[in-house]
Amino acid sequence: MNTPAKVFLTGASSGIGRALATLLCTEGFHVWGTSRDVARLPVLAHFHAVALDLNAVDALEAAFEAAAHEAGGFDILVNNAGDVVNAPLEVLAQSGMRAQMETLFFGPLELIRLALPEMRRRNRGLIVNVTSLAVQFPIPFNAAYNAAKAALSSCSECLRLELTGTGIRVVDIQPGDVATEILKRTREIDVPECSAYEPSLSNCRVAEAVKMKDACTPEKVARLILRLISDASPPPRVAVGNFFEARLATFASRLLSRRMVERLQRWMYGLS
C-alpha cells in the first residue's frame, strides 16, 4: 500500500487554501495547513493545524521544522497564503511594502529553502507557488501585491532551471479573480494624498468588485492543483480563472504590445 502524500499548505483557513485542504484530505492526502489563527482552520480527517505567520521570520523555520518532523518530511509544498494592500504607490509606506513582500515573497522563499533538502534527498517532490494573473496584468493601486507575485513567479522559473535533472517539479499557478473574501480582507489605505488619484482610485475599486461577480470558485483552482499533483510532467505555468482570464486575456497578452495591453487595462478599470 502506498504511503499517502504529505502536503505543507500555507493559507489554509480560507479561499483557495481551505478548498484545497478539503479536497486533498478527501482524496486521502495528509495536509499540514497553516494560518496565523489556528481557530480558523478546518477540522478534517488527515488535517494537521499549524500556527504560522509568514511575517514572523524567526518563528517560521521552527514552525516548519516541527511540522516536517511530525510528517516525516513533505512530498508537496503549496505556497498559497495571500494578502493585499490597496493604495497608490506614492502613499504606500515602505513598511507596508515590506510586509507584503514578507508574506507573498520572502516567506514562501524561506519555506522552499527549508523543504528542498528533504526533496533532494528523496529526488522527488512538488512545489506549487500560487502567484497571480496580475503577474501578466498588474492591478492598479496594488503595486506591492503585483511586485511580490511577479517576484515569486520569476523565482519559480529560475528554480525549475536549477533543479534540472532532479525529480522535483515546480509549478507556477496564476489565478485570476477567485470568489473568496479577498476584497473584504483587502486593506484600503485612504489618506489625504489619495485625493490626487481620484476618480481613478475609486473607479478601480468599483471595477474590482464588479469583476468578482464573474470570478471562478476556489474549488476550481483546488481541482486544478490536484490534477497537477498527479501529473508527472506538469506545465511550468498555468493560468486559471473564468474563460476571459484563463484563455482570451492570456492569449491576447502574447499577441498585443504592452502599450495595447495597458490601454485595455485603463478601459477595464475606468482610468482616465
Among 145, 197, 211, 220, which one carries the catalytic annotation? 145
Among 149, 197, 211, 220, which one carries the catalytic annotation? 149
Establish if 218 belongs to a structural domain.
Answer: yes
Query: For the domain that residue 202 is a member of, what is the CATH number?
Result: 3.40.50.720
Q: What are the DSSP calls for 201-236, one per residue?
A: HHHHHHHHHHHGGGPBPHHHHHHHHHHHHH-SS--S
Backbone angles phi, psi at 51, to 5 degrees: -80, 120
Residue type, position 80, single letter: N
Residue 185 is predicted with a pLDDT of 81
H helix intervals, the chain? 15-26, 57-71, 94-101, 107-122, 143-162, 182-185, 200-211, 218-230, 243, 250-255, 258-269
SS3 65: helix
**How far apart, in whole angstroms, are the C-alpha atoms of residue 242 and residue 31?**
28
The count of domains in the chain is 1
Q: What is the pTM of this model?
A: 0.93
Contacts with 222 (C-beta within 8 Å, 6 or more apart), sequence order: 16, 19, 20, 22, 23, 24
Residue type, position 267, single letter: W
Say how far residue 48 (Cα) sits from the centre of its chain: 20
User: Based on the number of CB atoms within 10 Å of its own CB, is 72 exposed (0-12), middle (13-18) or buried (19 or more)?
Assistant: exposed
Q: Distances from the Cα of 17 to the Cαs of 42, 198, 206, in angstroms?
A: 10, 34, 26
Establish if 184 belongs to a structural domain.
Answer: yes
Establish if 203 belongs to a structural domain.
Answer: yes
Establish if 255 belongs to a structural domain.
Answer: yes
Which three cell numbers, joined as nine digits, stand for 120? 533532494
Say how far residue 25 (Cα) sits from the centre of its chain: 20
Backbone angles phi, psi at 138, to 5 degrees: -55, 140
- The answer to whether residue 213 is catalytic is no
Q: Distances from the Cα of 125 to the Cαs of 23, 67, 213, in angstroms?
A: 19, 17, 36
- The answer to whether residue 211 is catalytic is no
In contact, 204 and 270? CB cutoff 8 Å: yes
Say how far residue 57 (Cα) sits from the centre of its chain: 19
Establish if 1 belongs to a structural domain.
Answer: no
> Can you give the pLDDT of all 272 residues of the chain as single tens digits?
367 899 999 999 999 999 999 999 999 999 999 999 999 999 999 999 999 999 888 889 999 999 999 999 999 999 998 889 999 999 887 777 888 899 999 999 999 999 999 999 999 999 999 999 999 889 999 999 999 999 999 999 999 999 999 999 999 999 998 988 877 788 888 889 899 999 999 999 999 989 888 899 999 999 999 999 999 899 999 999 887 777 777 777 778 888 988 888 899 899 97
**How far apart, in whole angstroms, are the C-alpha atoms of residue 4 and residue 219?**
21
Say how far residue 47 (Cα) sits from the centre of its chain: 20
In contact, 32 and 58? CB cutoff 8 Å: no
Establish if 113 belongs to a structural domain.
Answer: yes
Establish if 57 belongs to a structural domain.
Answer: yes
Residue 245 is predicted with a pLDDT of 73
Establish if 12 belongs to a structural domain.
Answer: yes
In contact, 23 and 7? CB cutoff 8 Å: no
The range of the structural domain enclosing residue 143 comes to: 6-269
Residue 1 is predicted with a pLDDT of 37
